[in-house]
Amino acid sequence: MKLLPSFMVLSTAALAGLSSASIAAQDTPAAQAAAPAAAAVAPAPAPAPQAAVAATPTPAPACELHIFPTLEGQAMTTGWLSGFGIVGAVVEASANKDRNVSEAEYLKEALGPRLQIAALKSLDVVAALKLPPSQVIFETPIADRNITTKADTRLSSSTADCYAELIVTQNFYTKRAIYGRSLNNRFIFKDFRGGKAKAKLVKGRGGNGLSHFPPKTTDETEAAELDLRTAFAANFTEFAKGTAPAK
């Protein structure tokens, strides 16, 4: 019950986030296929060059943003009986036992690291985090939460002076009797710019409603997965808006 206010806020934010999301058109299967391997580097869009210098190759930005997706996938469905004491709790847990397992498993596949990256590539992540033009480098996920949520040093071997990290730490699908279906994500942003060896962990979350996930039939699979990626991107945008302006 303590979660009610935050869910009301999230639901409102979800509506706002969905209406402004235009990423769906860019998130094509081709874009997914082109999602780079972890070690690959995807340069962020450079500022529009002037005609005179258009022919010369643009040097890669000196700044780096390393993004760590998550392997996690959690799911929980609660019905009207939740909150009705021990009997309600046991009935709810029993009724949703299989569903919670299968949906968590499905979420891990449908919003796995590759698809998180595809969703983030549909946005200007660098601008959203208020960073200067930066190379975006996609890293392999880190399973140990003691590292992702506590380590204040760099999680890559890069020694760049202008360096930042974005870590996805939660993928959580919920279905609640009153608020319906939603995807919640947690993120951590670490800004090492200025050659810092340690950075403050800026933690935050985003939550947006889902309308097609999980799919009821195989015909709805594509729409459901697009729905997930759209919500994920909106969650990131929500998180990024809440981060303090870069120094």
Partner 1 sequence: MRKFIASCLGCLLVATPAFAGREPVPPMALTEHDRVVAGGRAVLVELPQYEIGTDVDVGRVVSDSSQYGGGFLGALILDASDDKRERLTSMEMDKATARVAPLRQAIRDFDFNALAVASTRSALSHLDWFGAQNPEWIKSPSDNDRRALISGAGTKQLATISYHYLLSPDFTQIRVVADVTLWQPAAARAGGPQPALTAIYGHRITAITELRKRSYEPAENVALWSADGGKLARASITAALARLEQLIPFALGLNQADVDALARKKADKKADKIFAAGFYGPPVTAFPSIAGEKVIWSQGLIEVMPTP
187 — phi, psi (to 5°)? Answer: -135, 155
In the bound state with partner 1, the residue whose beta carbon lies nearer, of 95 and 246, is 95
**207 binds partner 1 per the rule CB under 8 A:** no
**88 binds partner 1 per the rule CB under 8 A:** yes
> Total residues at the site for partner 1 (CB under 8 A)?
49
CB environment 143-182: b (16+ within 10 A), e (fewer): eeeeebeebeebeeeeebebbbbbbbbbbbbbbbeebebb
Name which position in 63, 131, 154, 238 contacts partner 1 (CB under 8 A).
154
Amino acid occupying residue 90? V
**172 binds partner 1 per the rule CB under 8 A:** yes
Give me the residues paired with residue 66 across strands: 137, 165
**182 binds partner 1 per the rule CB under 8 A:** no
Give me the residues paired with residue 67 across strands: 138, 166
**156 binds partner 1 per the rule CB under 8 A:** yes
Neighbours of 20 (CB within 10 A): 9
**117 binds partner 1 per the rule CB under 8 A:** yes
Q: 142 and 112 in contact (C-beta within 8 Å)?
A: no
**205 binds partner 1 per the rule CB under 8 A:** no
In the bound state with partner 1, the residue whose beta carbon lies nearer, of 177 and 246, is 177
Q: Which residue from 176, 6, 2 is spatially nearest to 82, judged by alpha carbons?
A: 176
Q: Which stretch binds partner 1 (CB under 8 A): 47-55, 82-90, 123-131, 210-218?
A: 82-90
Q: Which residue from 104, 119, 95, 126 is spatially nearest to 174, judged by alpha carbons?
A: 104
**86 binds partner 1 per the rule CB under 8 A:** yes
- Quick note: the x/- pattern for partner 1 over 26-65, rule CB under 8 A, is ---------x-xxxx-------------------------
Residue 200 Cβ vs partner 1, minimum distance, rounded to whole Å: 13
Rg of the Cα trace of the chain?
Answer: 19
**226 binds partner 1 per the rule CB under 8 A:** no
Amino acid occupying residue 215? P
Residues that bind partner 1 (CB under 8 A): 35, 37-40, 69-76, 78, 82-83, 85-86, 88-90, 92-93, 97, 100-101, 104-105, 112-114, 117, 140-147, 151-156, 170, 172, 197
